[in-house]
Amino acid sequence: MTAPQIAPARRPKVVLFDLFETCLQLEGLRPRFTALGRPGTDLELFFARLLHQGMAMTLAGEAPPFRTVATDMLRRTSGPDLTDDEVSSVLDGFRELPVHDDVRAAFTLLREAGIPAYGFTHGSAATASAALENGGVRDLLADVFSCEEISSFKPPRRVYDFAVQRVGGEPARTALVAVHSWDVHGAIAAGLLGGFCERLEGRVPDAILRPHVVAPGLDDVVEGLLALPE
């Protein structure tokens, strides 16, 4: 099987940032699980099941809103008898997730370079925006939006086509930055630039398309993108 041919990378004119885990720390939800009397490790299982379910429903046609899927998966993970108030006590925490330490520097580098940055999630745009506001970095982004608008989770091609159209860019000059290799792979497969931050996964998996920039921190990834030729 012949590997896809990827055009030489050029400096992006627009940069999209994944939000949950890439910019916002899910660790902020862990105390909310323990407050329910559940082990803190429920967090990782919950989020993995949430992504799996959302992606599976996307493959089947359309996905419900992020919070609808999250509610179902929380009850699957932490107990089918959770009350609505208990579910809210966990899911409302997405609005208060702390910002990773490298986010401000990454956003600032782009602001100084005159390149617009956007938050791009398959969660609630309003929820993610509130967390970024609480973290003092929302003003460094041109906008925050979600593929909930097209009833989809990442990473189908239509999601990245939608994102590029949403920001008025062109695929080859639009970069997607994420700590999830599958998200970066999806973006590259759709013709975008891919910036992979190794903070979460530790290395580039062998099975994905090679990212255009790989670095340990978000600010390092942005520096790499800015160093690409014009």
Question: Consecutive 10-residue runs of the chain (230 residues): their mean pLDDT?
Answer: 57 98 97 96 96 97 96 96 96 97 98 98 96 98 97 97 96 98 97 97 95 97 96
Alpha-helical regions (H) of 145-197: 157-167, 181-189
Tell me which architecture the domain covering 27-96 has in CATH: Orthogonal Bundle (1.10)
| Domain range 14-24+97-226, CATH class | alpha beta
Q: Are strands 143-146 and 213-215 parallel, antiparallel or unpaired?
A: unpaired
Alpha-helical regions (H) of the chain: 30-34, 42-60, 66-78, 84-91, 103-113, 125-134, 157-167, 181-189, 218-226
Say how far apart CA 198 and CA 91 lie, in whole Å: 26
Q: Is the preceding peptide bond at 155 cis, omega within 30 degrees of 0?
A: yes
pLDDT value of residue 218: 98
pLDDT value of residue 7: 56
- Sequence-distant (≥ 6) Cβ neighbours of residue 20 within 8 angstroms: 26, 47, 94, 97, 121, 123, 128
pLDDT value of residue 230: 86
- Residues 17-72: pLDDT tens digits? 999 999 999 999 999 999 999 999 999 999 999 999 999 999 999 999 999 999 99
pLDDT value of residue 3: 43
Q: Which two tokens stand for residue 65?
A: 């809103």
Q: Are strands 14-17 and 213-215 parallel, antiparallel or unpaired?
A: unpaired
The structural domains of the chain, with segments of one domain joined by +, span 14-24+97-226, 27-96
- Sequence-distant (≥ 6) Cβ neighbours of residue 84 within 8 angstroms: none
pLDDT value of residue 37: 95
